[in-house]
Structures are given as structure tokens and as C-alpha cells.
């Protein structure tokens, strides 16, 4: 796509265009998911979380552009992400990889890239997975909600306590299921072997004690 055509695509998401698409159902895109940040993750959580997450995906696809932008959807409880107007936010914008993806259309002009990036992500929202199960962060472009971060720990807006910002939570602090990996498998395997050997020793000790007890309780002994 040429730079001119891309400019036109950005400009098409104007108020006039919004009036035309506001009642259309949203689509979901995973194109811009950020897998690199330690603060936003999706692994090591409970079965219930994943069930609710997929229910949230269904809810997003049933929602309209209007319901998200006007923040009226009850199930998803959308909230506009004000990158510069919230003192508790932990990030200044979505990852640079989204901006860099615009280079083919905008070239390497940093000012032009930033301008188009801000226009593209201006409708940034957080959506609720479920009550007490964290949020999904992303942006609406045209009629698509682009998911960027999964945030079960509320790490984009951790809040504050007595004027001090709360620290962000790591996966192990909220995770319910340890992620599978070869190291974890080997650890559990070794632990199982150790427990088996201990059990065999206890069985043998118990057998010897029973034999000794039988000898002590035999008539005439």
C-alpha cells in the first residue's frame, strides 16, 4: 500500500466513518500481540481463566464498535486507555513493534511513523476478561479490535496505596498452574522416583516390624 493510500486509510476512521460502522460487530485480530513483556502474560493460569478468556473473545465478536467506544458494554466493561492522563499507568504506549510495522507504508521518517501510529492506536481500550480475572488491552482500528496485551495481574493499572504505586505482579504470583517445560518434567520425575524409593523403604521397615512383632507374640516366647 502506498503512503498516500495508507494516509487515506487512517483518515477514513473519522467521525463520519465512525457513524457508518458504529453498529457493526467487531472482529478480533492477534496480529499485534506482545509476547515479550514480562508484565503481560497468558501462561500458567487456571482452567477457569482460559474458559472465561474464550468467553470474552466471543463477547468481543458480538459487541459493536459503538458499545466499546461509548464504554457501554456490560460484560466487557470497556475503559478508554488514557496514555498521558492517568498517573497510575505503567506504560507510555503500546510496543514500538506496532509502529515499526508501519514502515512499509510510511517509510523511516520518525515523525510520520509516530503520527500514523498515534492515529492508528488512538482508540485504545481495556476490556474485562471477567470480574477478578484481569483485562485485555488493545485498540480498535476500523471494525477490528487488535489485542496487544493479556493482563491477568492488572499490571497496566496496578493502582496505588497511600500514594505509592503498587508493584506489578509476575506470573508466579498469580498463576494457578505451573507452565510445562522439560526442566519441570524432569524435576517432577526425580521427585516421583525419590518418593517411590522412600515408600519402598517404609514398606520394608513395616514388614520387618510385623515379623518382629509376630515373633514376640508367639506362644512360648
Looking at the structure, tell me whether residues 203 and 131 fall in a common domain. no
* pLDDT at residue 70, as a whole number: 95
Residue 18, φ and ψ in degrees, nearest 5: -60, -40
Return the top range by mean pLDDT from 15-19, 129-133, 156-160: 129-133
Q: How confident is the model at residue 59 (pLDDT cuts 50, 70, 90)?
A: very high
| pLDDT tens digits, 141-173 | 989 999 999 999 999 998 866 666 677 777 777
* pLDDT at residue 17, as a whole number: 64
The DSSP secondary-structure symbol of 2 reads -
Return the C-alpha cell found at 32.
499485534
Looking at the structure, tell me whether residues 105 and 29 fall in a common domain. yes
State the pTM of this model: 0.71
- pLDDT(55) > 60: yes
* pLDDT at residue 188, as a whole number: 72
With both helix axes pointing from N to C terminus, report the angle between 110-120 and 3-11 in degrees, rounded to the nearest 10.
30
User: Among 89, 92, 84, 78, which residue's Cα sits nearest to residue 159?
Assistant: 89
Looking at the structure, tell me whether residues 59 and 80 fall in a common domain. yes
Looking at the structure, tell me whether residues 197 and 90 fall in a common domain. no
Return the C-alpha cell found at 216.
514376640
Greater confidence (191 vs 29) lies with 29
Looking at the structure, tell me whether residues 21 and 108 fall in a common domain. yes
Return the C-alpha cell found at 50.
482460559
Looking at the structure, tell me whether residues 13 and 45 fall in a common domain. yes
> In this predicted structure, which of 17-31, 89-103, 171-185, 198-212 has the lowest mean pLDDT?
171-185
Looking at the structure, tell me whether residues 52 and 160 fall in a common domain. yes
Tell me the average pLDDT across 54-58: 97
Number of domains forming the structure of the chain: 2
Tell me the average pLDDT across 90-107: 91
Looking at the structure, tell me whether residues 18 and 103 fall in a common domain. yes
- pLDDT(179) > 80: no
- pLDDT(221) > 60: no
Looking at the structure, tell me whether residues 59 and 123 fall in a common domain. yes
Looking at the structure, tell me whether residues 154 and 198 fall in a common domain. no
Tell me the average pLDDT across 161-187: 66
Question: What SS3 state is found at 138?
Answer: strand
Q: In this prediction, what percent of the chain has a pLDDT beyond 70?
A: 81
Tell me the average pLDDT across 107-132: 93
Return the C-alpha cell found at 171.
506470573
* pLDDT at residue 60, as a whole number: 97
Dihedral sign for Cα 70, 75, 81, 86, please: positive
Give the range of the structural domain holding residue 195, as residue numbers without chain letter: 180-221
Amino acid at each position: 500500500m502506498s503512503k498516500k493510500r495508507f494516509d487515506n486509510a487512517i483518515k477514513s476512521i473519522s467521525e463520519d466513518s465512525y457513524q457508518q460502522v458504529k453498529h457493526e460487530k467487531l472482529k478480533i485480530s492477534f496480529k499485534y500481540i506482545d509476547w515479550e513483556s514480562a508484565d503481560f502474560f497468558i501462561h500458567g493460569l487456571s482452567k477457569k481463566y482460559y474458559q472465561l478468556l474464550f468467553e470474552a473473545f466471543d463477547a468481543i465478536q458480538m459487541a459493536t464498535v459503538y458499545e466499546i467506544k461509548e464504554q457501554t458494554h456490560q460484560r466487557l466493561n470497556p475503559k478508554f486507555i488514557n496514555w498521558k492522563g492517568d498517573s497510575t499507568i505503567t506504560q507510555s504506549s503500546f510496543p514500538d513493534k506496532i509502529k515499526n510495522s508501519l514502515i512499509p507504508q510510511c517509510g523511516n521518517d520518525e515523525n510520520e511513523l509516530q503520527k500514523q501510529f498515534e492515529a492508528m492506536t488512538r482508540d485504545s481500550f481495556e476490556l474485562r476478561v471477567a470480574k477478578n480475572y484481569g483485562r485485555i488491552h488493545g485498540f480498535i482500528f476500523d471494525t477490528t479490535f487488535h489485542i496487544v496485551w493479556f493482563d491477568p495481574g492488572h499490571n497496566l493499572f496496578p493502582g496505588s496505596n497511600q500514594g505509592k504505586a503498587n508493584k506489578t505482579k509476575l506470573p508466579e504470583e498469580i498463576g494457578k498452574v505451573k507452565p510445562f517445560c522439560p526442566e519441570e518434567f524432569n524435576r517432577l520425575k526425580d521427585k516421583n522416583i525419590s518418593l517411590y524409593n522412600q515408600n519402598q523403604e517404609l514398606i520394608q521397615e513395616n514388614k520387618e516390624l510385623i515379623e518382629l512383632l509376630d515373633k514376640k507374640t508367639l506362644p512360648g516366647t
